[in-house]
Amino acid sequence: MLLQFELCGQDTSSASYTFKLQQSLNFSTLKLKDVRIVCGNDLLQESWQYTVAGVDMPTRTLTAPLYLTMDCLGDHNVAHYLPAVYPANDGRVNTVSNTRIDISHALDNDGTTVEAGKRRLFDYTLISNTQTHWEAGKELTFGLEYRSLENDGQYDQPKAMDDTVWDRTCRLVVTLETDGGHQPPATVPNTVVPLFTADGGSGAEPTITAGNYDAPTELGGVDTHSTAFLFAYTLGNSKGIRQYHVGPFTCAAGKELMLFNVQNGSTVYTHRTGSQSITNVDEYLRALTPHGTSGYGSIYYANANGVSYSQHNNRYYVIAVTPLGGGGGGGM
């Protein structure tokens, strides 16, 4: 299916806008298919004099390079650009992945008077062969950045357009394509969670080895979990929790659902729910009273103070276990 997003200078004074999905969306492949832009004014056009070193003859008029920004993906999903500023020993000192994609350049200053827009057809694969669930309400932010040309012979670093560059004549339309479609919450299939392979029985907690849940296949890793189901994760990039598939989940009579978090690939935190059925794990957790430091369910899920713990790499799973003492769990 196609997803299309449009922002115009007459509607927003900023060259960036955050859209929200009205329905949940399931897919395994996401592509950037088309970008249309109407953007050109005297701040996006400069003449470089032939007398400047490196320009040479003739004096030429250039329009600023434009970039599409997308704040709805992981940093690994899109292109890399040079240069970047990182500490000297940082492995990324010469590259930066920042959800920025080149989409050609601005129009000349006369172009906007006749709406002579540019159109770029793409076939950029942003997500490939990864089962992805975007919940209803997920925020997708799109915007334009540009490189200034005001210093002859030099491209400035990419930067956001302010309201003097992004004016009422500007327009941006972004088209994405997925291999899936809208999935209203009522039609999300129930996931039956079998007994966890390392269940500890009625007298002990399950044995969870953090390293076995550090690189789930759902996120492009190699760890497979036949009896544990990833429902959310963070990337340690301060961008909040990403939901994968939040339910419904059920388990057999006489068992209960347990939630656990593997943090930074080394530490496991667990929470017994006492329930055989949870419709939406995110809603279930946020209905709990959060611990002051370890969040909802004490598994470092976002707390009531707005802290999302996303400075850590978190993997959140649901499993089925035997209740302690052998008692059966209740429903929800």
Q: 217: helix, coil or strand?
A: helix
Average pLDDT over the chain, rounded to an integer: 82
Residue ranges of domains in the chain? 2-182, 189-326
Residues 205-243 as b or e (16 or more Cβ within 10 Å = b): ebebebeebbebebbeeebebebbbbbbbbbeeeeebbb
Of the ranges 149-153, 177-181, 321-325, the best mean pLDDT one: 321-325
What is the pLDDT, as a whole number, of residue 114?
42
pLDDT at 275 over 90: yes
- Max mean pLDDT among 18-27, 54-63, 137-146, 320-329 falls in 137-146
pLDDT at 257 (0 to 100): 97
CA 256 to chain centroid:
31
Looking at per-residue pLDDT, the higher value among 218 and 175 belongs to 175
| Threshold 0.75, pTM exceeds | no
User: Average of pLDDT values for 119-138?
Assistant: 73
Task: Round to whole Å and give the CA distance between 177 and 126.
Answer: 10
Tens of pLDDT, residue by residue over 97-109, are 567 888 888 887 7
> What size, in residues, is the chain?
332
CATH number of 2-182: 2.60.120
How far apart are alpha carbons 253 and 277 in whole angstroms? 10
Which residue reads 């002051």 in tokens? 292
In the predicted model, is pLDDT for residue 116 greater than 50? no
β-strand partners of 259: 271, 318
Average pLDDT over residues 60-76: 78
How far apart CA 200 and CA 57 sit, in angstroms, is 78
